[in-house]
Amino acid sequence: MLRIIIVDDEKKAINSLRWELDQLQEKFDLEIIATFTNPADAILGINSLQPDCLFLDIEMPKINGFSLLKELAYNNAEIVVTTAHSNFSLEAYKNKVLSYLLKPIDSTELEETLNRVLKIVGKRSVDTKVNNVLLKTNKLKLSFKDKWIFVLLDDILYCKSEGNYTEIFLKSGKKYVVSKKIKEFQHLLESQEIFYRVHNSYLININHITEIYKSDGAYIVLNNEKTIPISRNKKAAFLEYITNSFH
């Protein structure tokens, strides 16, 4: 089942989109698990309910849609922007939005978007099941068009986001580029407790840290001498995590 949350400060817009989605409920086996008109409430709800897909308005009071995305702890939902304005497309691209729907929403475009979401979520579900089994043997499966590559978790130094792709850097010096967003690797690897997303662009293996610089402009040095920045808004939580991990 495709689990959906709608966020829009206009109740009329939510009702309109809900009606459109209800017409497609049987075809896509979807469920609208929550709707929010208040962005602050939406942040709590999204983090708690963890939807597969988020339909998100941009222009809202106090917190706009893009600011809301930056506040989320849960970031594994596919994002579909719904707006009456066409001038947010560049910002949407930077925020790795899957689809950009202009209001009033065209039913054909909505259906095409749901097809894309379902394909991504379905593939992710299969990959997650396979990787959950492999993780018990401390391995990760990297999927490519013509093959699978299996790597040991301890061999991974860090992952770097490149839009819809992720670069996987190994201690051997090898690098793999995988057609999967870094948030999907984060969802898998952080469950192993040795990986931490210290920056929007970086997910690191804490076992390969040699130095941490804690002042302004904080950063990490890995044992291959690579420096990784620590986001200002992740710094306190990361330092606490490291303190608890290495007594």
Rounded distance between C-alpha atoms, residue 151 and residue 86, angstroms:
43
Residue 142 one-letter amino acid: L
**Each residue's pLDDT tens digit in the chain (247 positions)?**
899 999 999 999 999 999 999 999 999 999 999 999 999 999 999 989 999 999 999 999 888 999 999 888 787 789 999 998 888 887 877 777 889 999 999 999 999 999 999 888 877 666 666 666 667 778 888 988 888 899 999 999 999 998 778 999 999 999 999 988 888 888 888 877 899 999 989 999 999 999 999 988 899 999 999 999 999 889 999 999 999 887 6
Residue 125: predicted pLDDT:
67
Residue 119: predicted pLDDT:
86
**Matching CATH number, 138-245, of 3.10.20.30, 1.10.10.1150, 3.40.920.10, 2.40.50.1020:** 2.40.50.1020
| Contact call for residues 24 and 2 (beta carbons, < 8 A) | no
Residue ranges per structural domain of the chain = 2-128, 138-245
Residue 44: predicted pLDDT:
94
- Other C-beta atoms within 10 Å of 133: how many? 11
Rounded distance between C-alpha atoms, residue 80 and residue 65, angstroms:
11
| Contact call for residues 122 and 114 (beta carbons, < 8 A) | no
The domain covering 2-128 belongs, at the CATH homologous superfamily level, to Response regulator (3.40.50.2300)
Residue 214: predicted pLDDT:
92
Nearest to 6, CA basis, from 140, 125, 101, 121: 101
